[in-house]
Amino acid sequence: MTPFTELSALACPLPLENVDTDQLIPARFMKESRDKGYGGFLLHDMRFGADGTPTDFVLNDARAKGSEILVARRNFGAGSSREAAVYALVDYGFRCVIAPSFGDIFSSNSVNNGLLPALVSEKDCEAILDALGDRPGELRVDLNAQTITAGDRDFPFEINATWKIKLLNGWDDIDLTRARAEDIERFREHYTAAYPWVTS
Amino acid sequence: MVVKKAPRTLFDKIWDAHEILRNESGQSLLWIDRHFVHEGSFHAFNKLNARDLKVAHPALTTGIADHYVPTRGRSIQVVTDKVRSVIEQLEHNTREHGVTLLGLDDPRQGIVHVVGPEQGLTQPGLLMVCGDSHTSTHGALGALAFGIGASEVAHVLATQTLWQTRPKRLRITVDGRLGAGVTAKDIALAWIARLGADGARGHAIEYAGEAIRALSVEARLTLCNLSIEGGGRCGMIAPDDKTLAYLKGRPDAPEGEQWEQAEHYWRTLHSDEGAVFDREVTLRAEEIAPQVTWGVSPEEALPIDGTVPDPARAASPAKARQIQDSLDYMGLRAGQKLTEVAVDSVFIGSCTNARLEDLRAAAEVLRGRHCRVPGIVSPGSTQVKQQAEAEGLDRVFIDAGLEWRESGCSMCVGMNGDQVGSGERCASTTNRNFKGRQGPGARTHLMSPAMVAAASLTGHLTDIRELTR
Ligand code: SF4
């Protein structure tokens, strides 16, 4: 995974609450293989009408082209555990989503794919949206310092300490866990002895 | 076993029993007792295969075909090539990795969160995960159960463990007694409307109180199922006599001496007197009315005798825009009485409300009557289907004019092609009224099975208490 340290990029405002994972990627696209990328499915039914023509949705604005940061309102990524929602964001080119709250499973899925879920206060989120003024604009995200810079203003964001380390280093859990194989095996023996009905 | 003196919550007891170690920044590596995979898990198997990894403990994972299965008969030929391909990938991946599959033709097949409890795979004290957010369901029996993403599924397959940050603890206490026509679904929608769809974010929920104790195990499954709709990491209820009676004799439940041993442990699984929760919320059961959702998030729910909200009265301009956006999508007018909202179809199904008691409740309303709108009934499992047929419930639904289908996720998510048409309005026993959830442009109103049955009879959202009065 590509490490995430600092990012200066175009940020696209999506001033909506409850942008759930069914909106991020409608279920009908999830049977596709990832080979060709999931970017085309991102927010599909907001971006395209029933006949497939693009709507006036913000991502279709020529000025939003190349956006790597998304700024949304509360409860972004609520709902289904579908990691495909994150694949759609990442394959489209996003590296960071800023919001006052995220679905818990969405957040961990994001981190597992190198996408930073930057948690800001409701007030700061509104200030960032105001700074963007309903159109894409430049933001700077510094993961080490945990700050977002819009113009001459800095806003702090929160991130779980372990997730921060994982993102900064581009680490993958499976390798880290396999290094703990002995601890796991020792635990398993003690556990199956204490709760014999669980595994028999 | 280490005996700790400080009072602990039910959640803490189970978490502690599964904690292998904790890293420097406080994340825990947890042992996973039970893991379920379904068709959608192909991404996780692909990750595993790409790294040439094996499933560490194949016996601790069970595969179940539910999300994409056809409900008009069981022939895999009726679905599109792509749908067939994901079902076949599950068959292939489970076979390759030595994982048991409850496939299309298996009499134990059904929706994963219905099958787990039904087979006795779900037990108090277990740590259970699945690549599906409604895994919270299994907490109804006193398990710690939560949904995970595909990377985490791959991690569990490869290591039988998972890294997690300990969530905070929230106790939702429901005192008193529920009124007639009010169900576990209504308790859930009521608390989610009050706290918000992210109200329990970062929290493990324990449901407690007189009204919760009084719920049947099946109703508890409905309540815990919906925990995720309020943002909860999981939902759980301490096991009691009802839980044990439910579990005893199920195919995968312990037997004989092991049952005795297990029961001894299960009886310790409750929050101790004086255990501290990070948050406490209390509801009065008598104050909960039958609920329906009017918008595009489960938090947009109201008592059935209410009216559609008016954006002009919203607390802020942002909130007003949000309400207007929901009304536009749902095709509703501010101030409209909810009971005047006409529906085009109904759906009775899903891991939320398609167990035997749910089907009985809906059939009770429909018996000897005729529906004004069409609809589908998809039992939560093949076993539920058989039990319902043995009681003649299938005849009640068919005679009333509804379709009696095979078991699967069906119109809850529409992956198999069972969908609500664009712009059509569906009264549904499911769990998500998200935009496009039941199909592109579909409009979903969530409610209890009896309320859905009532809507099918009248053709509009209906107060079950009026209908049965
Ligand atoms: S019934 Fe619906 S919510 Fe339940 S597992 Fe299936 S798709 Fe998910």
d(Cα B443, Cα A21) in Å, to the nearest integer?
Answer: 17
Whether A109 sits inside 8 A of B154 (CB atoms) is: no
Q: Is the dihedral of CA B345, B346, B351, B352 positive or negative?
A: positive
Residue listed under structure tokens 């292998």? B20
* Same structural domain, A193 and A116: no
* pLDDT (0 to 100) of residue B4: 57
Q: Please tell me the distance in Å from A83's CA to the nearest CA on chain B.
A: 5
d(Cα B36, Cα A164) in Å, to the nearest integer?
Answer: 29
* Same structural domain, A198 and A103: no
* Same structural domain, A115 and A198: no
- Closest chain A residue to the Cα of B329, Cα to Cα: A46
Whether B434 sits inside 8 A of A16 (CB atoms) is: no
In a domain, A1, yes or no: no
Whether B198 sits inside 8 A of A86 (CB atoms) is: no
Between the CA of B67 and the centroid of ligand 1 the distance, in Å, is 7
Between the CA of B437 and the centroid of ligand 1 the distance, in Å, is 11
Answer whether B379's CB lies under 8 Å from B106's CB.
no
Q: What is the DSSP letter of B128?
A: E
Q: Does B154 touch chain A (CB under 8 A)?
A: yes
- Look at ligand 1, atom 2, and give the residue with the nearest C-alpha: B412
Q: Would the pTM count as exceeding 0.95?
A: yes
Whether B133 sits inside 8 A of A28 (CB atoms) is: no
Whether ligand 1 lies within 6 angstroms of the CB of B148 is answered as no
Whether ligand 1 lies within 6 angstroms of the CB of B132 is answered as yes
pLDDT tens, N- to C-terminus, chain A (200 residues):
889 999 999 999 999 999 999 999 999 999 999 999 999 999 999 999 989 999 999 999 999 999 999 999 999 999 999 999 999 999 999 999 999 999 999 999 999 999 999 999 999 999 999 999 878 999 999 999 999 999 999 999 999 999 999 999 998 889 889 889 999 999 999 999 999 999 86
Which numbered atom of ligand 1 lies nearest the CA of B38?
5
d(Cα B112, Cα B36) in Å, to the nearest integer?
Answer: 7
Helix axes A104-111, A84-92, angle to 10 degrees: 50
Phi, psi of B261 (to 5 degrees): -60, -45
d(Cα B11, Cα B143) in Å, to the nearest integer?
Answer: 9
CATH topology of domain B11-166: Aconitase; domain 3 (3.30.499)
Q: What is the DSSP string of B232-245?
A: -SEEE----HHHHH
* Same structural domain, A75 and A106: yes
* Same structural domain, A134 and A192: no
* Same structural domain, A197 and A116: no
d(Cα B307, Cα B197) in Å, to the nearest integer?
Answer: 20
Whether ligand 1 lies within 6 angstroms of the CB of B412 is answered as yes
Whether B434 sits inside 8 A of A27 (CB atoms) is: no
The partner residue sitting opposite A101, judged by closest CB among B201, B296, B441, is B201
Please tell me whether residue B424 adopts helix, strand or coil conformation.
coil
Q: Does A166 touch chain B (CB under 8 A)?
A: no
d(Cα B116, Cα A160) in Å, to the nearest integer?
Answer: 32
Residue listed under structure tokens 């929901």? B326
- CB pairs < 8 Å spanning A and B: 183
All structural domains of chain B with their residue ranges = 11-166, 291-467
The partner residue sitting opposite A23, judged by closest CB among B26, B147, B435, is B435
- Closest chain B residue to the Cα of A200, Cα to Cα: B254
- Closest chain B residue to the Cα of A105, Cα to Cα: B148
The partner residue sitting opposite B155, judged by closest CB among A15, A82, A177, is A177
In a domain, A32, yes or no: yes
CA-to-CA separations, B285 to B142, B204, B468, in angstroms, rounded: 22, 22, 20
Q: Which of residues 332-391 of B touch A (CB under 8 A)?
A: none
* Same structural domain, A198 and A163: no
* Max CA pair span of chain B: 65
In a domain, A114, yes or no: yes
d(Cα B223, Cα B131) in Å, to the nearest integer?
Answer: 20
Q: pLDDT tens digits for B310-347?
A: 999 999 998 999 999 999 999 999 999 999 999 999 99
Q: Please tell me the distance in Å from B106's CA to the nearest CA on chain A.
A: 22
CATH of the domain at A28: 3.20.19.10
- Is the ipTM higher than 0.85? The answer is yes
Nearest to B381, CA basis, from B53, B117, B40: B117
pLDDT tens, N- to C-terminus, chain B (469 residues):
555 579 999 999 999 999 999 998 899 999 999 999 999 999 999 999 999 999 999 999 999 999 999 999 988 888 888 899 999 999 999 999 999 999 999 999 999 999 999 999 999 999 999 999 999 999 999 999 999 999 999 999 999 999 999 999 999 999 999 999 999 999 999 999 999 999 999 999 999 999 999 999 999 999 999 999 999 999 999 999 999 999 999 999 999 999 999 999 999 999 999 999 999 999 999 999 999 999 999 999 999 999 999 999 999 998 999 999 999 999 999 999 999 999 999 999 999 999 999 999 999 999 999 999 999 999 999 999 999 999 999 999 999 999 999 999 999 999 999 999 999 999 999 999 999 999 999 999 999 999 999 999 999 999 999 987 6
CA-to-CA separations, B463 to A99, A141, A158, B313, in angstroms, rounded: 38, 51, 44, 25
* Same structural domain, A52 and A109: yes
Domain hosting A184: range is 175-200
d(Cα B313, Cα B315) in Å, to the nearest integer?
Answer: 7
In a domain, A157, yes or no: yes
Q: Does B196 touch chain A (CB under 8 A)?
A: yes
In a domain, A14, yes or no: yes
Q: Which chain A residues touch B148 with a CB distance below 8 Å?
A: 81, 105, 108
Nearest to B295, CA basis, from B225, B163, B192: B192
Between the CA of B102 and the centroid of ligand 1 the distance, in Å, is 16
In a domain, A103, yes or no: yes
Between the CA of B355 and the centroid of ligand 1 the distance, in Å, is 13
* Same structural domain, A133 and A192: no
Which numbered atom of ligand 1 lies nearest the CA of A80?
8
Task: Tell me if the domain spanning B291-467 has CATH number 3.90.25.10.
Answer: no
* Same structural domain, A24 and A102: yes
Q: Does A196 touch chain B (CB under 8 A)?
A: yes
* Same structural domain, A87 and A181: no
Nearest to B389, CA basis, from B364, B347, B360, B365: B360
**Structure tokens belonging to residue A68:** 């790597």
The number of distinct structural domains making up chain A is 2
* Same structural domain, A124 and A200: no
Q: What is the DSSP string of B245-307?
A: HHHTT-TTS--HHHHHHHHHHHTT-SPPTT---SEEEEEEGGGPPPEEE-SSSTTSEEETTSB
